[in-house]
Amino acid sequence: MPNVTIDFLEGRTIEQKREMAKRVTQAIVETLNCKPEAVQIIMHEMAKDQLANGGVLKCDKD
């Protein structure tokens, strides 16, 4: 069973997450020749104070 974990900043709509899940699943099905039911996607949403790049929190860059 292919398992995919996707980390992203919060703020996406439910519609965007549905579309992402659909497209990622389709890409895996086509690439790995498996059934859609076998693909599991775990989404981790992060607040901007939980991500840093270059020592600076994302919330401090906006």
- pLDDT average, residue stretch 48-59: 96
User: Residue 39's domain spans which residues?
Assistant: 3-61
pLDDT digits (tens, 9 = 90+) for 11-52: 999 999 999 999 999 999 999 999 999 999 999 999 999 999
Residue 2 catalytic? Answer: yes
For residue 62, pLDDT over 90 is answered with no
For the domain that residue 40 is a member of, what is the CATH number?
3.30.429.10
Gap between the Cα atoms of 58 and 49, Å rounded: 6
Task: Using CB atoms within 10 Å of the CB of residue 17, give its burial: 0 to 12 exposed, 13 to 18 middle, 19+ buried.
Answer: middle
Query: Which of the following is catalytic: 1, 2, 53, 56?
Result: 2
Q: pLDDT band at 53, cuts 50/70/90?
A: very high
Domain count, the chain: 1
Q: Which residues contact 1 (CB under 8 A, 6 or more apart)?
A: 38, 39, 40
